[in-house]
Structure 1
Amino acid sequence: METESPTACSPRADRARRVASVLRRQVLEGAFGTGVLPDERALIAEFAVSRNTVREALALLRDEGLVERRRGVGTVVVGRAYEHPLGELAGLAEVLQHHGSVVNQVREARRVRAPQAVARRLGLGERGEAVHLERLRSLDGVPLSLDATYLLPEIGEPLLALERGVLEHQDVFQLIGTVAGAALGGAEVSVQAVTADAATCAVLGLPEGGAVLAVERLTSLADGRPADLEFIHLRGDRLVLRARVGAPDGHGAAAAGRDPARGRRP
């Protein structure tokens, strides 16, 4: 009879989830150079769990479309995700240019009356207008994100004058600088995991009820004026958002060795 590690006391489903979490990160980082995961015996030894736990963990990754079982080969990687730096003002084409061909299919590009919520964020009047772009972005033909972008008219109008091919092969951030002649400052970003609606799933090639990362990004110009409000739906199975953060004041290296009760070194 197979047993877990003597320290294991949680339900097998929880242990499988923890094993899957470690393996998922390795798969996404390309840690398995041959594309084949270690065999079950190696995984059992590495994680000190039972064969059933390992199989449940691999089943979780299979259901996510990351691995599959092949007779005579083992468990192989069939899907991967790409990292997008959350803390940088960089477009998808710029970030993924070394992984393949990124294309921005322009689904809509026109001047529209801005929804009230958008008008408030961009500092437009109650009936203010904005330039609206909707783009489907793909890597080597695989859909990765669906973006709805609202731009200040003076920023977006020069982009509308461009040939469609330019909009499809360059990121908006690059065009704002080179075409609109505006320098970017910073951005406010929020991320929420949501279940995609049927229309979004169809466009992104996701199964019904697929998960997406809903990103809202308000980008400002160097002078502080808001210029670009984006609502981005990223495929949760193909993109990973990564950021490097620092410790809050009083908890970093500068505070090391200080007396926490008195806020100074002993």
Structure 2
Amino acid sequence: MSTFDPFTQNVTFLAADGNTTISIPVMLVDEMRRMMVNTVINYATQLGACLVMLVVLLVMVPISKFKRPFNALQIVSLVICSVRMVLLCIWNISKFADFYPFWSHDFSHIPTSGYAPAIAANIISLLLVISIESMLMSQAWTMVKLWPNLWKYIIAGLSLVISLMTICVRIAFTAVQIEANLDTIPPWHMLWLIKWTVIMNVSSISWWCAIFNIKLIWHLISNRGILPSYKTLTPMEVLVMTNGLLMIIPGKSLPPN
């Protein structure tokens, strides 16, 4: 029986000059293919969740309430996020994902129009961050506007600073990403900016979760004498408490696209 392992061999092909040999391990090709499939499934799942939530909001929320900034921004955010997910999925079926361009890093044969989905996805991602930060700011102000003036203005001021910093860092990150897309060169020299983008995203999410949980805990303490027993909780009340826990329990974070 042969001891040769076919999975350890290389896939060899020639570059555009017809002379340069490029060798890629079979295992690396398989691993990258699996990663791309998993990524598309992830994007498709997020797209489905956005569309379901969009339908639920449009069906369940009275039309008169769409005049409120928070509800309007919810709809806008879901639409933007859906478009973003579609654009991110499109990249995986573009010419950039074809075997030769992907593994040779030779994108000279890709037309200018092929760059459009990636650039549009970056711009849409920026718009999504702006929309979400605006929505959360609106919701936070609705909660704290009845608080004592000192705490109300402190929290509103900090919220505004964190939101603006998150948006500004994202604008810079988007510019770097678009430039990298056009040059087809990873922006390793701007790795610090990528890290700062992640840091600001995490800081923003943590800040909003803290505000909403403080409000929830305050409400529970203030109304502990009239709250129903846990045995009589409705499914919606259980869902609200579960969402509160999810704002505390950290999840797995992925690098920005």
Normalising by structure 2, we get a TM-score of: 0.21
Q: Compare the two structures and name the one with the higher helix fraction.
A: 2
Q: Compare the two structures and name the one with the higher strand fraction.
A: 1
Structure of greater relative contact order (alpha carbons < 8 Å, 6+ residues apart): 1
